[in-house]
Structure 1
Amino acid sequence: MTEPVSFYDRIESNRRKSLLLLAGFILFVVAFGYIVGYAWLGDPVGAIFGLVLALVAGTVSGLATYYAGDRVVLAASRARRITHEDNPQLFNVVEEMSIAAGLPMPKVYIIEDEAPNAFATGRDPEHASIAVTSGLLRKLNRDELQGVIAHEMAHVGNLDIRYAMLVGVLVGTVVLISDFFLRSLWFGGGRTRRGGGNQLQLVMILIAIALAILAPIFARLLQLSISRQREYLADATAVKLTRNPKGLADALEKISRDPKPLKVANRATAHLYIANPLRKREKRRSLALFSTHPPIEDRIRILRAMEAGGVPQSTG
């Protein structure tokens, strides 16, 4: 198999997986909301009305994050915006990759931190920003830096911020519905407590209680699974932009071996980075399901296979 076929196949495979996961997530939220609504109201029409209200509340919260989230992330990361004069090589590489991707030039930021890492943020290509650490600039050569920037431009071009927003809204909706239902039962709400229940509603209540306890965990696992698939997709898209899987693979190897902790990272921003900045806390395979990123060894292995002209199946 030739290299062009391999990375195009990889892109399509990961895109399908992401869409299937997202579709499954939406169906899960709709079914969960309907069951909880029926258990609460004992009325199919009322259950749909309750689900719509929950989705509206989640959407309002998601839109606030969508329009202001990038500024919050950049401020929390202590990122400093730069110009071409501040770092010509970085600026030129970002320009090259934006041209290769056919995207507008994003704003460029530097985070003063010795740990090598990078992330992209922004709600769409017209409002995108790329931030890299000073450690990344010092420890990578130009080909490796190009691979990292191509990966981040892939996130911009693949509209991963929109995926993240939609999935965040869905997770928030699940938590909102679960919390509302469990609290209402505790405080004696719903038609069952007022004597209006029937056998079907009682069954729905038992199912809803189980789902209300387990659904937030399941929703979080789905969110993380989608996040991991988007990383594989960004890697494959980066190879499409650079035609050089070796650059990104070498960069990921250097990042994975670096002992420096990324001080500005936290669980709220970890999913944005090219490599999990909290990975040293999540080394055990048993924690893989709860990781924001696929195993970096798998990503490197796939990139090396692209370099050699074939693509193995990932474990993510």
Structure 2
Amino acid sequence: MFNLMKTAVLMAAITALFMAIGALIGGKAGMMFALLLALGMNVFSYWFSDQLVLRMYNAQEVDETSAPQFYRMVRELAQRAQLPMPRVYLIQEDAPNAFATGRNPEHAAVAATTGILRVLSERELRGVMAHELAHVRHRDILISTISATMAGAIGMLANFAMIFGGRDEEGRPANPIVGLLVAILAPIAASLIQMAISRAREFEADRGGAEISGDPQALAAALQKIQRYAQGIPLEAAERNPATAQMMIMNPLSGGGLKGLFSTHPSTEERVERLLEMAARGVR
């Protein structure tokens, strides 16, 4: 129920941003158009945003024939988590990372880069995929997928406002400085909305993943290794679609420009510390 409330708040906040930008572009008419657009995108995001994100990353679905060891690992962890078997995808990228998507556990997918399969040991990879399945079990995947899709749309609409200008209530051209400010501030506002729900969600997925795998130390070691390797290997799809970065187990962005101002992930050091505390308490 709490995650349903968070989803409703997210949709309302994104819709309000759409309406504000629409009002800048076309006054009351622009506001109504933006409202209808936001409602349409919310419906689209609910049903199709997982497919859109997987397509952004050129993710290829695999099965027990094409990726037997990885597929069986996910299946075993899903059984431990008492979840339906999700669809399993691989992304041909050297950067080590992984994410989960979908609208509910019955329509979930997990994806990992080929880089993470090469970098991590089997034990560490189990910890990572258990983390992603914890997102599925906590029903975080709908929130993260919708926020990624809608935040990207906010950025595009804000750029439209900057390029084509806007109208005030009397239909007169708006101040171009206002359009520039909106183009800068609207994506930041969308990022703040993502940040408001993302950091705590990652801590909970770490905890849940450690319980599913029964090995908090493996996930802690995986996070440390991913951070070391990811620093020197860009994830091109994430750089092109920065709104999707918060879906990953580790922030994949290089940090250049405005993309580096806000991080939707807590520090790796704090995440590792919490996991090692779980291990010290004998969590299995």
TM-score of the aligned structures, taking structure 1 as reference length: 0.66
Distance 1:63 1:24 in 2: 13
- Local SS of the residue matching 1:104: coil
Q: Does 1:140 align with 2:120?
A: yes
The higher-RCO structure (CA 8 Å, 6+ apart) is: 1
Partner residue in 2 for 1:91:
71
Displacement of 1:233 in angstroms is 2.1
C-alpha contact (below 8 Å) 1:116/1:135 kept by paired residues: yes
1:75 aligns with 2:47: no
- Highest Rg: 1 or 2? 1
Gaps of 5+ in 2: 173-177
Q: Quote the offset at 1:53 in angstroms.
A: 5.9
C-alpha contact (below 8 Å) 1:25/1:222 kept by paired residues: no
* Paired residues of 2:158 and 2:187 also in contact (CA < 8 A): no
**Alignment pair present for 1:282 and 2:255:** yes
Report the 3-state secondary structure (helix = DSSP H, G, I; strand = E; otherwise coil) of the residue aligned with 1:290: coil
Q: Is the deviation greater in 164-173 or in 251-260? A: 164-173
Q: Provide the rounded CA distance (Å) in 1 between the counterparts of 2:267 and 2:150.
A: 26
Q: CA deviation at 1:25?
A: 8.4
- Aligned partner of residue 136 in structure 1, secondary structure: helix
Distance 1:258 1:236 in 2: 23
Tell me how far 1:31 sits from its aligned partner. Answer: 10
Alignment correspondent of 2:175: none
Residues 18 and 35, structure 2, Cα contact 8 Å, conserved in 1: no
Instruction: Give how far 1:60 is off.
Output: 0.6
Q: Secondary structure at the match of 1:129?
A: strand
In the superposition, relative to structure 1, how do residues 58 and 137 fare at CA in structure 2: closer, same or farther (>3 Å)?
same
Query: Counterpart amino acid of 1:265?
Result: A
Contact 1:150 1:242 in 2 (8 A): yes
**RMSD (Å), alpha carbons:** 4.2
Q: Is the 8 A contact 2:151 2:191 kept in 1?
A: no
Distance 2:90 2:152 in 1: 31
- Change in Cα spacing, 1:73 to 1:54, as seen in structure 2 (3 Å) is closer
Deviation for aligned residue 1:62 = 2.8
Structure 1 unaligned blocks of 5 or more: 1-14, 42-46, 194-207, 311-316
Q: Of 217, 220, 223, which residue of structure 2 is paired with 1:246?
A: 217
Partner of 2:194: 223
Percent identity between matched residues is 36
Q: CA deviation at 1:148?
A: 0.6
Q: Distance in 2 between matches of 1:235 and 1:226?
A: 15
Shift in Å at residue 191 of structure 1? 5.4
Q: 1:289 to 1:233 in 2, by over 3 A?
A: farther
Residue of structure 2 in register with 1:272 after alignment: 247
In structure 2, the residue corresponding to 1:274 is in which secondary structure? coil
**Contact in 2 for aligned 1:108/1:129 (Cα 8 Å):** yes
Distance between the aligned counterparts of 1:309 and 1:212, measured in 2?
Answer: 49
Say which of 147, 159, 169 aligns to 1:190.
169
Give deviations 1:173-226, integer Å, cap 9, x for gaps. 79869987x9554xxx42597xxxxxxxxxxxxxx99x9685553332222332
Q: Relative to structure 1, is the Cα distance of residues 297 and 143 closer, same or farther in structure 2, using a 3 angstrom cutoff?
A: same
Give yes or no for contact 1:225–1:289 (8 Å, CA) kept in 2.
no
CA contact (8 A) 1:151 1:238 kept: yes
Q: Number of residue pairs matched?
A: 270
TM-score by length of 2: 0.73
Q: Is 1:306 aligned with 2:281?
A: no
